[in-house]
Amino acid sequence: MTEGNFVDYVKIYASSGKGGKGSSHLHREKFIEKGGPDGGDGGRGGNVILVGNKNLWTLFHLKFLRHVKAGHGGDGGSSRSTGHDGEDKYIEVPLGTVVKDKDTDEVLFEITEDGEQKILVKGGKGGLGNWHFRSSTNQTPRYAQPGMPGEEIDVILELKVLADVGLVGFPNAGKSTLLSVLTSAKPKIADYPFTTLKPNLGIVAYRDFQSFVIADIPGIIEGAAEGRGLGHYFLRHIERNSTLLFLIPADADDIKEQYDILLDELRRYNPEMLDKERLVVISKCDMLDDELKEEMKQQLDKDFKGISYMFISSVAQQGLTELKDKLWKMLNE
């Protein structure tokens, strides 16, 4: 999937169908001049329904869909025949899609399971035919109910990527390179900041045919929680990850300072993110000799009390097996 095809935010106007009106027909037949009421009910209006699809990874197919309108219900007929129901409209969305009311920003619901269906707007109820209104004192009612009107709503669909592990780090920390060597994903890689503009997903093959999903999130900068840089557009994708992997390059001026800035941005965006499992990974360790690495370990032991850390090199393929083992253990504890 190219970056331009990754869409995680769309606005849609949805309207359901109105119900059909009931019939006020009176039964007429040869030799039966004054038959009783036999007007049928109107059909219900169509619903607009969201359906989860595990094979979708983006909202790109909805990018140019501005209006979704369900069909209207048919009117009732004679001989107590009911009008046809309006056609339902189905919108397929990837798992992890959150639906918000555009006007109030209220979260209406979210789709997290394959095949899960949620009614976005319900069709209007069909009106009752005059057959329902007959009585001993009014044997030929000449009235019936009109159908109920449909509903309409402006909604925002937001995709929050579903992944087990989220890669967190500053631009150019080596997240895309790590994703490319751990998985078969082919993210855009270059030696300048903000190469990744959209989240990339990859499946890590583990022992005994097991696997887990890892997401490369675009790099965080200071002020991201307030919307600077790519701001909220990528921070929301980290919310669903059960484990956060903080990737900091070995040539960073101050590893602990970078970690604190990243952690603070997550806290300011959503304090609940601090409850997730964390692992600090020092990348590009092929630049370090044994003596320098030992010095760094002594400092990191002081800085990261109670937080696991490890050294890896994506390019030199160092520490990757240990990293997979550690992540698998954290995900399954």
Which residues line the annotated binding site for GTP?
Answer: 169-176, 194-198, 216-219, 283-286, 313-315
What is the b/e burial string over 12-38, where b = at least 16 CB atoms within 10 angstroms of the residue's CB?
A: bebbbbbbbbbbbbbbeeeeeeeeebb
* Residues of the binding site for Mg(2+): 176, 196
How far is residue 212's CA from residue 210's CA, in Å, rounded to a whole number?
7
DSSP type of residue 191: S
Return d(Cα 278, Cα 166) in angstroms, integer. Answer: 10
Please report, as a single letter, which amino acid is at residue 64: F
Let me know if 83 is exposed, middle or buried by CB neighbors in 10 A (0-12, 13-18, 19+): buried
Spatial contact of 219 and 194, defined as CB atoms under 8 Å apart: yes
Cβ contact 276:244 at 8 Å: yes
Which residues does the annotation place in the binding site?
Answer: 169-176, 194-198, 216-219, 283-286, 313-315
